[in-house]
């Protein structure tokens, strides 16, 4: 699961899955859906930070340090809350743009669904990790002379920590190289707690597989040889929660 701070958990595709006519409405009303996803995350971020800032029970302070926003994992209830809230923001703008009753009904519907999703999130609790790994940025790719056929190749990387956990994999980078070369993969901007990284490679962005059997040391450059890696699993979504924190059923923003 990705960390909340990695960026909006929901995508435009997630919103369209819930409302097939969304993109037509957004286009006809000049609404930037990507912006609404970001605003939904920002508004939910406020609630999450307020929850974290609430006084911690004295007994809890004896064994657990102050929690940070960067430790929050996007669980399915949190993602659904963000999705429904973003849909509400889109239809709110559509209604105020043209004052069309059906847009107001949609706005109210998705506001209710967002409230229901928030309640489900509260019931499930706040998922947190002890040693969070941010999503990796796309790797730097280059060509290195070798007696191999060229082509177009894709690679993604993900950071690992001392506990054996892996952060969310980066978006894929791509490179087209000529015959007589191989692709090299360099992971950049490592977090301080990273003990190494994994490389996922392939000839398609939807068919990349783990290439290394153990974490690669931070700072090394990996040489990708098509068909010679271990062909492991596909890129992952990140860390699972180490523990859950109960939440109070209280509106934190008035």
Q: What CA–CA distance (Å, rounded) separates 217 from 153? A: 22
Instruction: Identify whether residues 94 and 153 lie together within a single domain.
Output: no
Adjacency order of strands within the sheet including 140-145: 140-145, 181-186, 221-224
Instruction: Identify whether residues 126 and 21 lie together within a single domain.
Output: yes
pTM of this prediction? Answer: 0.86
Overall domain count for the chain: 2
> Going residue by residue through the chain (254 aa), what tens digit of pLDDT does each one get?
899 999 999 999 999 999 999 999 999 999 999 999 999 999 999 999 988 887 555 555 555 567 899 999 999 999 999 999 999 999 999 999 887 888 999 999 999 999 999 999 999 999 999 999 999 999 999 999 998 888 999 999 999 999 999 999 999 999 999 999 999 999 999 999 999 999 999 999 999 999 999 999 999 999 999 877 667 899 999 999 999 988 876 544 44
> Which residue range is the domain that position 30 belongs to?
4-132
In a domain, 127, yes or no: yes
Instruction: Identify whether residues 96 and 58 lie together within a single domain.
Output: yes
Can you name the residues that pair with 184 across neighbouring β-strands?
142, 223
What are the tokens at 219?
């700072």
* Contact indicator for 16, 25 with CB cutoff of 8 Å: no
* Contact indicator for 6, 79 with CB cutoff of 8 Å: no
């Amino acid at each position: 699961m990705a960390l909340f701070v990695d960026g909006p958990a929901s995508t435009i595709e997630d919103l369209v899955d819930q409302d097939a006519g969304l993109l037509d409405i957004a286009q006809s009303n000049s609404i930037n859906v990507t912006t609404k996803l970001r605003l939904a995350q920002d508004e939910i971020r406020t609630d999450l930070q307020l929850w974290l800032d609430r006084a911690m029970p004295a007994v809890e302070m004896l064994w657990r340090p102050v929690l940070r926003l960067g430790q929050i994992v996007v669980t399915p209830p949190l993602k659904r809350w963000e999705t429904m809230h973003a849909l509400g923001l889109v239809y709110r703008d559509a209604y105020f743009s043209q004052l069309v009753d059906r847009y107001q009904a949609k706005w109210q519907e998705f506001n209710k669904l967002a409230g229901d999703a928030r309640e489900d999130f509260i019931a499930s609790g706040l998922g947190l990790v002890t040693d969070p790994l941010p999503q990796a940025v796309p790797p730097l790719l280059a060509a290195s002379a070798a007696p191999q056929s060229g082509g177009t190749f894709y690679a993604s990387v993900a950071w690992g920590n001392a506990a054996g956990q892996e952060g969310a994999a980066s978006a894929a980078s791509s490179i087209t190289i000529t015959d007589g070369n191989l692709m090299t993969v360099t992971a950049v901007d490592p977090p301080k707690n990273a003990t190494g990284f994994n490389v996922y490679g392939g000839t398609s962005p939807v068919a990349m597989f783990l290439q290394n059997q153990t974490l690669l040391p931070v700072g090394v450059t990996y040489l990708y040889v098509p068909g010679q890696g271990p062909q492991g699993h596909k890129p992952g979504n990140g860390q699972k929660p180490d523990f859950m924190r109960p939440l109070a059923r209280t509106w934190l923003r008035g």
